[in-house]
Structure 1
Amino acid sequence: MFVPLHDGSRVLVRPIAAEDAPLLRRFHQRLSPETVRDRFLSAKPRLSSSDVRYLTDVDQHGHVALVAVDPERPERLLAVARWVRDPAHPEAAEAAFVVADHLQGLGLGSALAIALADRAVEEGVTSLSGSMLAGNVASEGLFRRMGGEVEVLRDGVTNEVLTSLPAHTGRLALLAHNRRMRPGRRTPVAPVVPVRLVA
């Protein structure tokens, strides 16, 4: 699906494929050390062959991964988002996001968060969680965009975020439509729900 961004450009959001392995390597190499640390919670200058295989060769049911690409340059990844189902609790999954530095703040992460939530509901997942460094309010915000009640467990240098998911899908199409009707809108289309903090 084509999704407009706040600067007037648009991206194509699609499932990742095993053939994206070299694209993912190049994408990772272009990320700043800060963005890599926010995604992996530590320094990770390069992805190993096993990393790349795990991150690209997914079944799109228990492990769902989406990418955003420039329609004019489809060989260049702009963002990656994924969730992995918990085998012990198949209705729950862990989510992660990473957006190219130059596109952060333009609504791409929000679009991917909503796309992930839509796919999760389609696959019977009712809640998504994520681990992030303390102070990473942007990532916390992505979980709020998913549309459910958000709970944040703050524990030293990392936070655990859990969000319930709405029962309906189709919200990515609605977001794309709203952005086309209101270009340049910088406030989220999906309502931001209150966050409940857990000591």
Structure 2
Amino acid sequence: MITAPHAPSHVDIRPARPADAAAVGRFVQSLSERSKRFRFHGAISGDSPALQKLLCDVDGVHHQAWLAWADAGRGEIVVGEARFVLSADDEAELAIAVADDWQGRGLADRMLRQLLGAATTAGVARLYGDVMDSNCRMRAFMRRNCFESRRLVSSELVRMSRTLPRSMPLRRPACA
């Protein structure tokens, strides 16, 4: 498990690169089974080279990803990841994960602001994420950030989506 310091730590959010694959693998392995299930909707292993490549080998246009890096005293470690993947219809699916011990510190907010700004710049018209119904914390987080929800048919997932304006401020907007 990646342990957060007692005092707030400086966290840098940077684009993911192929060279980050091993660090991302360690991040995924550090997540609790519950957090892995919430992020990936099933059992996965951070040891998988294919998963590490998928998470880090992004094109920076259709698939953009950012990693949150914190100093762990022995060097930097990944404590969060956020991404979107653009589809043909100008919609993009998003995903955000934060290390268990770093949750509740505002890191997801920072990562979502990064993601929203980049998605707007990329011309994404609608951003969505499929959230497990049992992930109450993520559903509340997305509602606070103006995502609307609807239950998917025959699934334990809730699709939460938000239309992006042409020009959007990078702060949390007031929801209509």
TM above 0.5, one fold? yes
Do structure 1's residue 154 and structure 2's residue 155 form an aligned pair?
A: no
User: TM-score, normalized by length of structure 2?
Assistant: 0.85
1:14-68 deviation digits (Å, cap 9, x = unpaired): 1000000110111111110000000011122334222111110111110000010
8 Å contact kept, 1:79–1:100? yes
Give distance in 2, aligned partners of 1:62 and 1:143: 22
Aligned residue in 2 for 1:183: none
Q: Which residue of 2 aligns with 1:197?
A: none
Q: State the match for 1:130 in structure 2.
A: 129
Q: Structure 2 counterpart of 1:162, which letter?
A: S
Matched, 1:101 2:100: yes
Q: Are 2:80 and 2:99, in contact at CA under 8 Å, matched by a contact in 1? A: yes
Q: 1:29 corresponds to which residue?
A: 29
Please give the per-residue CA displacement for 1:55-108, whole angstroms capped at 9, x wherever unaligned: 10111110000010015665310100000001x21x210000110000111110
Taking a change above 3 Å as real, the CA distance of residues 35 and 157 of structure 1, as seen in their structure-2 partners, is same
Aligned length: 167
In structure 2, the partner of 1:185 is: none
Q: Does 1:19 align with 2:16?
A: no
- Flag the structure with higher strand content: 1
State how 1:30-179 maps to structure 2 within 5 Å: 30-71=30-71, 75-86=76-87, 88-89=88-89, 91-144=90-143, 146=145, 148=146, 150-155=147-152, 156-169=155-168, 171=170
Q: Per-residue deviation at 1:170? A: 5.5
Residue 193 (1) aligns with residue 143 (2)? no
**Could you list the runs of 5+ residues in structure 1 that have no partner in the other structure?**
1-6, 176-189, 195-199
SS in 2 for 1:37: helix
Cα distance in 1 for residues equivalent to 2:72 and 2:43: 31
Judged with a 3 Å threshold, the aligned counterparts in structure 2 of structure 1 residues 162 and 113 are, in CA distance, closer, same or farther, namely same
Contact kept, 8 Å, 1:113 with 1:145, in 2: the verdict is no
CA distance in 1, matches of 2:36, 2:57: 21
TM-score using structure 1 length? 0.76
RMSD: 2.1
